[in-house]
Structure 1
């Protein structure tokens, strides 16, 4: 004779946990568009935005160039910029998996809210760099201004 969930407490707890996880996931998915808006419900305001190419150099460095002007914005010398390199590696890996080349630049954006995002315009993936900590987000901020 089989028991229902209400009759068996050993089956009831896992069912409640699974149901709660499903409800939490749905709430998160539905709330995400609202969380991306400003606190007043307005569309976020872009302070600075730049489309960039990141190219490996033969010496192990990385050249960062502005996609519009072709001017070099910055360079990472061999062995420096670990967070920047790791972030880009993950995005490039996704491009390779989807068989997308390097012709489309990445979009780096500073928002009025203080967020810094890096978007792969080829795949549509967007990273909120503050999610990795303030210091890591600041590693990208210098690419928003001209090389000095």
Structure 2
């Protein structure tokens, strides 16, 4: 029977075989991930940590305020694309969940070079170094700012 198949029938069987093989691979990967063998990486030691509030200013800038003493440590002016983009994404999630924008964020620098912004209201975390050193440096400046 296989010898009597035309080209289209053979291509259909090959396509069916490839689709079945892909489905098996996807199921195996999903099973591996859900089995617990793919555990999250443990966080490295904390080098520096600061709790911050981000507030819209009357002049259009975003004020970066230290939560411990209420002092403004920086102003993000103009577009400042990366900082504003990250803050917009986190603010959007808060709006969807109907959470107040008054809760603070925690900026954490770790010994392995990672820099993480954690939304304390939603527990969302963004590993900022994933977006490149220059972008992460915009947030790292908030750790060293002291006014």
Residue 15 of structure 1: how far off its partner (Å): 2.5
Task: State the match for 2:110 in structure 1.
Answer: 111
Task: State the match for 2:4 in structure 1.
Answer: none
TM-score by length of 1: 0.81
Task: State the match for 2:18 in structure 1.
Answer: 13
How many residues matched? 133
Structure 2 unaligned regions, length at least 5: 1-12
Residue 129 of structure 1: how far off its partner (Å): 0.6
Residue 45 of structure 1: how far off its partner (Å): 0.2
Larger gyration radius, structure 1 or structure 2? 2
RMSD value, Cα: 1.8
Task: State the match for 2:54 in structure 1.
Answer: 54
The alignment partner of 1:143 has SS state of: helix
Cα deviation 1:117-138 (Å, max 9, x = unaligned):
0111111111111111111111
Work out the CA distance in 2 between the residues paired with 1:112 and 1:26.
33
TM-score by length of 2: 0.81
CA separation of 1:27 and 1:132: change in aligned 2, threshold 3 A: farther
Alpha-carbon contact 1:73-1:145 (below 8 Å) kept: no
CA separation of 1:145 and 1:95: change in aligned 2, threshold 3 A: same
Task: State the match for 1:92 in structure 2.
Answer: 91
Residue 103 of structure 1: how far off its partner (Å): 2.2
Residue 71 of structure 1: how far off its partner (Å): 1.1
Alpha-carbon contact 1:54-1:63 (below 8 Å) kept: yes
Work out the CA distance in 2 between the residues paired with 1:130 and 1:32.
21
Task: State the match for 1:45 in structure 2.
Answer: 45
Work out the CA distance in 2 between the residues paired with 1:70 and 1:61.
17
